[in-house]
DNA sequence: AATTGACTTGCTTGGAGCAAGCAAATATAA
DNA sequence: TTATATTTGCTTGCTCCAAGCAAGTCAATT
């Protein structure tokens, strides 16, 4: 069915969408968002100059589409590995999964986080999507803490913020030093150890 | 001496440099780096279209100059407030100073961190400067830990990485939610509390 | 007086984005 | 089924504007 010939409209757009998103992800990882041009996204995907701009409306629209599609898969995966867990067990599972994905080092995730960080300075559609993802992550962590028997001094929200800040910081250094696998692993482990401190002497 | 008339060469460049850097910082905070143009930086500073490009060589060069100048002042300030301290005291002083600067919310610092985060996706001169700043921060924290009587299980490097990751994560959320002063304060406080956990039961 | 250095202006290049057009796919009618 | 109409995926030609370069002007230095 992947002949050059006969395709339904839906199949055509699905295909060109996928090809262009893949092309864009590669280009973002290789040369950054600045030097990723709509023209080349279209052409690398095997289409014309103009298709990426036409399909996604603008460069920001293209980036938004990437963040949306990757973000959804990512959140679903995190949900899966923490299913039925709470407290430190859920946190550990989430950190492990996160570390695994970083080490896997797919262009997809790298591009996702590059767009995440770059969205900070602009009033782009990407920023809104990221904000939503962040909020969902935050709520998840709060829930894990609240459903556990944690009874320490820090609020669940404070722990969640601390946790998410740490994850983001770790991601930053991972992006900056992609080849230092040892450090990536160590920082994830240290985060788990750090979170365990909250749950260590809390039975009082 | 700030007449329109007679200026020495050094005075002229110093002045135009400052004016253009200020203009650029405002524009970055207001509209993001993308929509900050060399043309408007020059014009907003009261010069011609072309001066910013001529002076800084390129847009990346302008951004590098901003990160350099802000970064130097910033590191000096951090050095000042932690002078003679070590261990948790130094960490607490650094966090307090960091929190203070965030709450002050000067365009300068905001632009600095925006450029910091955006440098992640590119192979820009900014990235190298940021990397240097990060390394110095890391060494500082390691030193603080090593010079204290800390004797817990985590290495000084691990604590430093954890600390810097947390700071960066907090900065991210501060940039994303600039008006939420309570959260900014809370996260800084939580970071101090978190770091205190390392030093709590370590006398063994 | 000669030269250096600050700053400006004119120009080229290239990407973003828009609109008009072409061709393949779908809907409608005989 | 076959013929016609319409929608929709995709392309091409265009305008606009920022980056960056080179040649020029004028003030400051020697």
Q: Is residue B84 left, alpha or beta, with left meaning phi > 0 and alpha meaning psi from -120 to 50?
A: left
With a cut of 70, say whether residue A2 has pLDDT above it: no
The pLDDT assigned to B6 comes to 63
Q: What is the pLDDT of residues A157-169, one digit of tens each?
A: 989 998 999 999 9
Work out the pLDDT band at B5, boundaries 50, 70, 90: low
Q: What is the pLDDT of residues B73-125, one digit of tens each?
A: 999 999 999 999 999 999 999 999 999 999 998 999 999 999 999 999 888 89
Q: Is residue B144 left, alpha or beta, with left meaning phi > 0 and alpha meaning psi from -120 to 50?
A: alpha
Euclidean distance between CA atoms B76 and B100, whole angstroms:
15
The pLDDT assigned to B38 comes to 98
What percent of chain A has a predicted confidence (pLDDT) above 90?
82
Q: What is the pLDDT of residues B120-176, one digit of tens each?
A: 988 889 999 999 999 999 999 999 999 999 988 889 998 999 899 999 999 999 999
Interface of A with B (CB under 8 A): 28, 32-35, 114-115, 117-118, 120-124, 127, 131, 134, 154, 158-159, 161-162, 164-170, 172-173, 175-176, 183, 186-187, 190-191, 193-194, 197-198
Task: Identify the CA nearest to A110 among candidates B121, B100, B65.
Answer: B121
Please report residues of B whose CB lies closer than 8 A to that of A33. 121-122
Task: Identify the CA nearest to B168 among candidates A118, A165, A158, A115.
Answer: A165
The continuous run of DSSP H or E covering B116 comes out as helix B107-118
Please give the structure tokens belonging to residue B185.
């304060």
The pLDDT assigned to B110 comes to 97
CA of A112 to C1' of D8 (A): 30
Q: What is the mean pLDDT of chain B?
A: 92
Other C-beta atoms within 10 Å of A6: how many? Answer: 7
Q: Do A197 and B197 touch (CB under 8 A)?
A: yes
Angle at B33 between CA B187 and CA A132, to 5 degrees: 45
DSSP secondary structure of A147-187: TTT--SSS-HHHHHHHHHHHHHHHHHHHHHSTT-HHHHHHH
Euclidean distance between CA atoms B141 and B128, whole angstroms:
20
DSSP E strand stretches across chain B = none
pTM score, two decimals? 0.93
- Residue B69 near residue B169, CB atoms below 8 Å: no
The pLDDT assigned to A201 comes to 63
Q: What is the mean pLDDT of chain A?
A: 92
Average pLDDT over residues A119-140: 93
Highest mean pLDDT among A1-5, A79-83, A122-126: A79-83
DSSP character at residue A119: G
Q: Residue with CA nearest D18 C1'?
A: B37
- Residue of B115, B165, B192 to mutate when probing chain A, most A C-beta within 10 A: B165
CA of B13 to C1' of C4 (A): 15
The pLDDT assigned to A6 comes to 62
The continuous run of DSSP H or E covering B144 comes out as helix B125-147
Q: Do B162 and A194 touch (CB under 8 A)?
A: yes
């Amino acid at each position: 069915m992947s002949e050059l010939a006969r395709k339904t409209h839906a199949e055509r757009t699905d295909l060109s969408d996928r090809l262009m998103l893949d092309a864009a992800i590669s280009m973002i990882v290789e040369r950054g968002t600045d030097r990723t041009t709509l023209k080349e996204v279209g052409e690398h995907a095997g289409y014309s100059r103009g298709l990426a701009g036409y399909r996604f409306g603008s460069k920001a629209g293209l980036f938004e589409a990437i963040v949306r599609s990757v973000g959804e898969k990512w959140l679903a995966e995190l949900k899966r590995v923490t299913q039925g867990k709470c407290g430190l067990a859920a946190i550990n599972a989430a950190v492990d999964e996160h570390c695994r994905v970083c080490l896997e080092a797919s262009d997809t995730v790298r591009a996702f986080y590059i767009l995440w960080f770059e969205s900070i300075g602009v009033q782009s559609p990407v920023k809104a999507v990221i904000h939503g993802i962040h909020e969902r992550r935050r709520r998840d962590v709060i829930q894990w803490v609240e459903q556990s028997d944690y009874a320490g001094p820090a609020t669940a929200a404070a722990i969640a913020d601390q946790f998410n800040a740490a994850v983001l910081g770790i991601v930053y250094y991972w992006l900056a030093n992609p080849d230092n696998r040892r450090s990536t692993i160590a920082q994830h482990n240290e985060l788990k150890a750090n979170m365990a401190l909250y749950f260590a002497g809390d039975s009082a």
